[in-house]
Amino acid sequence: MLARVANNLFWMGRYLERSEHIARYMNVNYFSSLDAPTELSQSRQFVLRSMLFVADEEELIEVKELDEKKVLYDIGLNPEKQFSILSSIQNAQQNANGARDLISTELYESINTLNRAVKIYDKDRFVKNGLFDFTTMITANIASLRTKIRGTLLHDEVYAIIMLGIYIERANQVIRIINSKYNDALVENVNSGASVTTSFEWTTLLKCVQTYDMMRRYYRKIPSSHNVLDFLILNPYCPRSIMNSLNCIQNYIGFLSKDEIPQKDTAAFLIGKLKCQHQYTTIEDVQGDLKGFIEKLVEDLSLVGVKMHKDYFSLD
Protein backbone atom coordinates (compact mmCIF):
# COMPACT_ATOMS: atom_id res chain seq x y z
CA MET A 1 0.00 0.00 0.00
CA LEU A 2 1.27 3.47 -0.87
CA ALA A 3 2.13 5.62 2.16
CA ARG A 4 -0.05 8.40 0.75
CA VAL A 5 -3.08 6.10 0.57
CA ALA A 6 -2.45 4.77 4.08
CA ASN A 7 -2.34 8.36 5.29
CA ASN A 8 -5.70 9.02 3.60
CA LEU A 9 -7.28 6.05 5.39
CA PHE A 10 -5.85 7.09 8.75
CA TRP A 11 -7.10 10.68 8.51
CA MET A 12 -10.47 9.63 7.14
CA GLY A 13 -10.99 7.70 10.39
CA ARG A 14 -9.72 10.59 12.50
CA TYR A 15 -11.92 13.25 10.90
CA LEU A 16 -15.06 11.11 11.16
CA GLU A 17 -14.43 10.46 14.85
CA ARG A 18 -13.64 14.13 15.47
CA SER A 19 -16.86 15.37 13.88
CA GLU A 20 -18.94 12.99 16.00
CA HIS A 21 -17.38 14.11 19.28
CA ILE A 22 -17.69 17.81 18.49
CA ALA A 23 -21.33 17.38 17.41
CA ARG A 24 -22.28 15.46 20.53
CA TYR A 25 -20.44 17.89 22.77
CA MET A 26 -22.35 20.80 21.25
CA ASN A 27 -25.65 19.00 21.67
CA VAL A 28 -25.21 17.76 25.23
CA ASN A 29 -23.45 20.84 26.56
CA TYR A 30 -26.01 23.25 25.11
CA PHE A 31 -29.17 21.44 26.16
CA SER A 32 -27.89 20.10 29.51
CA SER A 33 -27.35 23.70 30.60
CA LEU A 34 -31.14 24.11 30.69
CA ASP A 35 -31.23 21.74 33.69
CA ALA A 36 -28.00 22.92 35.31
CA PRO A 37 -28.23 23.64 39.07
CA THR A 38 -26.43 27.00 39.15
CA GLU A 39 -27.04 30.30 37.42
CA LEU A 40 -23.48 30.32 36.07
CA SER A 41 -23.72 26.88 34.44
CA GLN A 42 -27.02 27.93 32.83
CA SER A 43 -25.52 31.08 31.31
CA ARG A 44 -24.95 31.18 27.56
CA GLN A 45 -21.45 32.67 27.90
CA PHE A 46 -20.39 29.77 30.13
CA VAL A 47 -21.78 27.18 27.70
CA LEU A 48 -20.34 28.82 24.59
CA ARG A 49 -16.89 29.13 26.17
CA SER A 50 -16.99 25.45 27.05
CA MET A 51 -17.84 24.58 23.43
CA LEU A 52 -15.01 26.68 22.03
CA PHE A 53 -12.59 25.27 24.60
CA VAL A 54 -13.08 21.80 23.07
CA ALA A 55 -13.28 22.91 19.44
CA ASP A 56 -10.26 25.23 19.53
CA GLU A 57 -9.31 26.90 22.79
CA GLU A 58 -7.10 29.43 20.99
CA GLU A 59 -10.33 31.10 19.83
CA LEU A 60 -10.90 32.18 23.44
CA ILE A 61 -7.60 33.99 23.91
CA GLU A 62 -8.69 37.49 22.90
CA VAL A 63 -12.50 37.22 22.93
CA LYS A 64 -14.29 38.58 26.01
CA GLU A 65 -17.94 38.50 24.94
CA LEU A 66 -19.13 35.66 22.72
CA ASP A 67 -21.91 35.94 20.16
CA GLU A 68 -24.06 32.79 20.27
CA LYS A 69 -24.91 32.63 16.57
CA LYS A 70 -21.30 33.23 15.55
CA VAL A 71 -19.95 30.55 17.90
CA LEU A 72 -22.50 27.99 16.74
CA TYR A 73 -21.81 28.81 13.09
CA ASP A 74 -18.03 28.66 13.55
CA ILE A 75 -18.11 25.27 15.25
CA GLY A 76 -20.82 23.80 13.04
CA LEU A 77 -20.80 25.11 9.49
CA ASN A 78 -18.05 27.67 8.95
CA PRO A 79 -15.89 26.41 6.03
CA GLU A 80 -13.12 28.84 6.97
CA LYS A 81 -12.62 27.27 10.41
CA GLN A 82 -10.54 24.08 10.37
CA PHE A 83 -12.12 22.96 13.65
CA SER A 84 -15.71 23.13 12.32
CA ILE A 85 -17.80 20.01 11.81
CA LEU A 86 -18.24 20.98 8.15
CA SER A 87 -14.44 21.08 7.66
CA SER A 88 -13.99 17.71 9.37
CA ILE A 89 -16.64 16.04 7.17
CA GLN A 90 -15.17 17.60 4.03
CA ASN A 91 -11.68 16.47 5.02
CA ALA A 92 -12.97 12.95 5.67
CA GLN A 93 -14.59 12.92 2.23
CA GLN A 94 -11.40 14.16 0.52
CA ASN A 95 -9.35 11.48 2.25
CA ALA A 96 -11.93 8.87 1.23
CA ASN A 97 -11.44 10.03 -2.37
CA GLY A 98 -7.72 9.39 -2.02
CA ALA A 99 -8.34 5.81 -0.88
CA ARG A 100 -11.38 5.08 -3.07
CA ASP A 101 -10.04 1.77 -4.45
CA LEU A 102 -9.50 0.33 -0.95
CA ILE A 103 -12.83 1.09 0.73
CA SER A 104 -16.26 -0.34 0.00
CA THR A 105 -18.81 1.32 -2.25
CA GLU A 106 -21.28 1.40 0.66
CA LEU A 107 -18.84 3.28 2.88
CA TYR A 108 -17.71 5.67 0.16
CA GLU A 109 -21.25 6.57 -0.92
CA SER A 110 -22.37 7.09 2.69
CA ILE A 111 -19.49 9.52 3.34
CA ASN A 112 -20.39 11.43 0.16
CA THR A 113 -24.06 11.55 1.17
CA LEU A 114 -23.20 12.95 4.60
CA ASN A 115 -20.83 15.50 3.07
CA ARG A 116 -23.56 16.76 0.72
CA ALA A 117 -26.10 16.94 3.56
CA VAL A 118 -23.76 19.05 5.69
CA LYS A 119 -22.76 21.36 2.82
CA ILE A 120 -26.36 22.23 1.95
CA TYR A 121 -27.62 22.49 5.54
CA ASP A 122 -29.38 25.80 6.03
CA LYS A 123 -27.03 28.01 8.05
CA ASP A 124 -29.71 30.41 9.29
CA ARG A 125 -31.87 27.56 10.51
CA PHE A 126 -28.89 25.95 12.22
CA VAL A 127 -27.93 28.99 14.31
CA LYS A 128 -31.55 29.84 15.18
CA ASN A 129 -33.20 26.52 16.05
CA GLY A 130 -31.46 23.70 14.17
CA LEU A 131 -28.69 22.75 16.60
CA PHE A 132 -30.43 19.64 17.91
CA ASP A 133 -31.43 18.32 14.47
CA PHE A 134 -28.02 19.01 12.94
CA THR A 135 -25.92 17.47 15.71
CA THR A 136 -28.25 14.45 15.94
CA MET A 137 -27.90 13.96 12.18
CA ILE A 138 -24.10 14.02 12.48
CA THR A 139 -23.87 11.56 15.38
CA ALA A 140 -26.39 9.16 13.80
CA ASN A 141 -24.60 9.19 10.44
CA ILE A 142 -21.14 8.69 11.98
CA ALA A 143 -22.49 5.73 13.96
CA SER A 144 -23.83 4.31 10.69
CA LEU A 145 -20.46 4.90 8.98
CA ARG A 146 -18.65 3.12 11.79
CA THR A 147 -20.95 0.15 11.27
CA LYS A 148 -20.13 0.15 7.55
CA ILE A 149 -16.40 0.28 8.33
CA ARG A 150 -16.75 -2.82 10.49
CA GLY A 151 -19.26 -4.61 8.28
CA THR A 152 -18.25 -3.87 4.67
CA LEU A 153 -14.43 -3.97 4.82
CA LEU A 154 -12.06 -6.91 5.11
CA HIS A 155 -10.41 -6.80 8.54
CA ASP A 156 -6.96 -6.41 7.03
CA GLU A 157 -4.37 -3.62 6.89
CA VAL A 158 -6.90 -1.14 5.44
CA TYR A 159 -9.29 -1.75 8.33
CA ALA A 160 -6.46 -1.59 10.89
CA ILE A 161 -5.26 1.80 9.61
CA ILE A 162 -8.78 3.30 9.69
CA MET A 163 -9.32 1.97 13.21
CA LEU A 164 -5.98 3.41 14.32
CA GLY A 165 -7.18 6.82 13.18
CA ILE A 166 -10.49 6.37 15.00
CA TYR A 167 -8.97 5.29 18.32
CA ILE A 168 -6.18 7.88 18.38
CA GLU A 169 -8.74 10.59 17.69
CA ARG A 170 -11.10 9.15 20.30
CA ALA A 171 -8.40 9.25 22.96
CA ASN A 172 -7.55 12.84 22.00
CA GLN A 173 -11.16 14.00 22.01
CA VAL A 174 -12.05 12.30 25.29
CA ILE A 175 -9.07 13.83 27.10
CA ARG A 176 -9.95 17.28 25.65
CA ILE A 177 -13.54 16.92 26.84
CA ILE A 178 -12.36 15.82 30.29
CA ASN A 179 -10.10 18.87 30.41
CA SER A 180 -12.97 21.16 29.38
CA LYS A 181 -15.42 19.81 31.97
CA TYR A 182 -12.78 19.88 34.71
CA ASN A 183 -12.11 23.52 33.80
CA ASP A 184 -15.87 24.23 33.93
CA ALA A 185 -16.09 22.64 37.39
CA LEU A 186 -13.20 24.83 38.61
CA VAL A 187 -14.84 27.98 37.23
CA GLU A 188 -18.09 27.08 39.01
CA ASN A 189 -16.18 26.49 42.23
CA VAL A 190 -14.49 29.90 42.06
CA ASN A 191 -17.64 31.82 41.13
CA SER A 192 -20.35 30.10 43.15
CA GLY A 193 -18.56 27.88 45.64
CA ALA A 194 -19.95 24.68 44.06
CA SER A 195 -18.01 21.54 44.95
CA VAL A 196 -15.59 20.36 42.25
CA THR A 197 -15.93 16.75 43.43
CA THR A 198 -19.73 16.56 43.02
CA SER A 199 -20.16 19.14 40.26
CA PHE A 200 -22.98 18.75 37.74
CA GLU A 201 -20.27 18.97 35.07
CA TRP A 202 -19.21 15.35 35.72
CA THR A 203 -22.68 14.14 34.76
CA THR A 204 -22.56 16.32 31.64
CA LEU A 205 -19.12 14.90 30.83
CA LEU A 206 -20.44 11.33 30.90
CA LYS A 207 -23.30 12.26 28.58
CA CYS A 208 -20.90 14.05 26.21
CA VAL A 209 -19.07 10.77 25.59
CA GLN A 210 -22.11 8.44 25.78
CA THR A 211 -21.06 6.72 29.00
CA TYR A 212 -23.61 7.93 31.58
CA ASP A 213 -25.65 4.70 31.70
CA MET A 214 -22.53 2.51 31.55
CA MET A 215 -20.91 4.31 34.45
CA ARG A 216 -24.06 4.18 36.61
CA ARG A 217 -24.37 0.42 36.02
CA TYR A 218 -20.70 -0.19 36.75
CA TYR A 219 -20.35 1.86 39.94
CA ARG A 220 -23.98 2.20 41.05
CA LYS A 221 -23.09 5.60 42.46
CA ILE A 222 -23.85 9.24 41.73
CA PRO A 223 -21.22 10.66 39.35
CA SER A 224 -18.30 12.38 41.08
CA SER A 225 -14.84 13.44 39.98
CA HIS A 226 -13.36 10.25 41.46
CA ASN A 227 -15.52 7.62 39.76
CA VAL A 228 -16.01 9.54 36.50
CA LEU A 229 -12.28 10.06 35.94
CA ASP A 230 -11.55 6.48 36.93
CA PHE A 231 -14.15 5.22 34.46
CA LEU A 232 -13.15 7.45 31.52
CA ILE A 233 -9.39 7.27 31.93
CA LEU A 234 -8.41 3.96 33.52
CA ASN A 235 -11.29 1.49 33.03
CA PRO A 236 -10.42 -0.91 30.15
CA TYR A 237 -14.02 -2.15 29.88
CA CYS A 238 -15.44 1.26 28.98
CA PRO A 239 -15.34 1.53 25.15
CA ARG A 240 -14.80 5.29 25.36
CA SER A 241 -12.06 5.26 27.98
CA ILE A 242 -8.46 6.29 27.38
CA MET A 243 -7.28 2.86 28.55
CA ASN A 244 -9.56 1.06 26.09
CA SER A 245 -8.33 3.28 23.25
CA LEU A 246 -4.69 2.60 24.16
CA ASN A 247 -5.38 -1.16 24.13
CA CYS A 248 -7.00 -0.92 20.70
CA ILE A 249 -4.21 1.29 19.29
CA GLN A 250 -1.60 -1.22 20.47
CA ASN A 251 -3.59 -4.07 18.94
CA TYR A 252 -3.87 -2.45 15.50
CA ILE A 253 -0.27 -1.21 15.46
CA GLY A 254 0.81 -4.74 16.35
CA PHE A 255 -1.22 -6.04 13.42
CA LEU A 256 0.60 -3.66 11.06
CA SER A 257 4.14 -4.04 12.43
CA LYS A 258 4.15 -7.86 12.78
CA ASP A 259 7.06 -7.54 15.26
CA GLU A 260 6.86 -9.73 18.35
CA ILE A 261 9.22 -7.36 20.15
CA PRO A 262 8.83 -3.76 18.89
CA GLN A 263 12.00 -1.88 18.05
CA LYS A 264 12.92 1.05 20.24
CA ASP A 265 11.85 4.48 18.93
CA THR A 266 8.92 3.06 16.93
CA ALA A 267 5.20 3.80 17.27
CA ALA A 268 4.58 0.21 18.46
CA PHE A 269 7.19 0.58 21.22
CA LEU A 270 5.86 3.96 22.34
CA ILE A 271 2.22 2.89 22.50
CA GLY A 272 3.18 -0.29 24.39
CA LYS A 273 5.12 1.78 26.91
CA LEU A 274 2.27 4.29 27.26
CA LYS A 275 -0.28 1.52 27.74
CA CYS A 276 1.79 -0.18 30.46
CA GLN A 277 2.27 3.13 32.28
CA HIS A 278 -1.48 3.74 32.39
CA GLN A 279 -2.26 0.13 33.21
CA TYR A 280 -0.55 0.62 36.58
CA THR A 281 -1.73 4.17 37.18
CA THR A 282 -4.28 4.69 39.96
CA ILE A 283 -7.04 7.27 40.12
CA GLU A 284 -5.19 8.84 43.07
CA ASP A 285 -2.19 9.38 40.77
CA VAL A 286 -4.44 11.07 38.23
CA GLN A 287 -6.30 13.32 40.67
CA GLY A 288 -3.10 14.34 42.41
CA ASP A 289 -2.23 16.48 39.36
CA LEU A 290 -5.04 16.22 36.82
CA LYS A 291 -3.86 19.18 34.71
CA GLY A 292 -0.34 17.76 34.54
CA PHE A 293 -1.68 14.30 33.70
CA ILE A 294 -3.81 15.68 30.86
CA GLU A 295 -0.96 17.73 29.40
CA LYS A 296 1.41 14.75 29.55
CA LEU A 297 -1.11 12.41 27.92
CA VAL A 298 -1.84 14.88 25.10
CA GLU A 299 1.91 15.20 24.52
CA ASP A 300 2.40 11.40 24.53
CA LEU A 301 -0.47 10.81 22.09
CA SER A 302 0.93 13.48 19.80
CA LEU A 303 4.33 11.76 19.86
CA VAL A 304 2.70 8.42 18.99
CA GLY A 305 0.99 10.12 16.04
CA VAL A 306 4.31 11.55 14.84
CA LYS A 307 5.99 8.14 15.10
CA MET A 308 3.09 6.47 13.27
CA HIS A 309 3.44 8.97 10.44
CA LYS A 310 7.18 8.27 10.25
CA ASP A 311 6.73 4.47 10.39
CA TYR A 312 3.74 4.03 8.06
CA PHE A 313 2.73 7.20 6.21
CA SER A 314 5.94 9.09 5.43
CA LEU A 315 6.83 9.49 1.74
CA ASP A 316 10.55 9.69 2.54
C-alpha span between 281 and 135 (Å, rounded): 35
C-alpha span between 205 and 278 (Å, rounded): 21
165 within 8 A of 18, measured Cβ to Cβ: no
E strand or H helix that includes residue 77: none
pLDDT in tens, 11-57: 999 999 999 999 999 999 999 888 888 888 889 999 999 999 999 88
β strands within the chain, DSSP E: none
C-alpha span between 314 and 307 (Å, rounded): 10
pLDDT in tens, 85-108: 999 999 999 999 999 999 999 999
Question: What is the CA 13 to chain-centroid distance, rounded?
Answer: 11
pLDDT in tens, 127-156: 988 999 999 999 999 999 999 999 999 999
Question: Does the reported pTM lie above 0.75?
Answer: yes
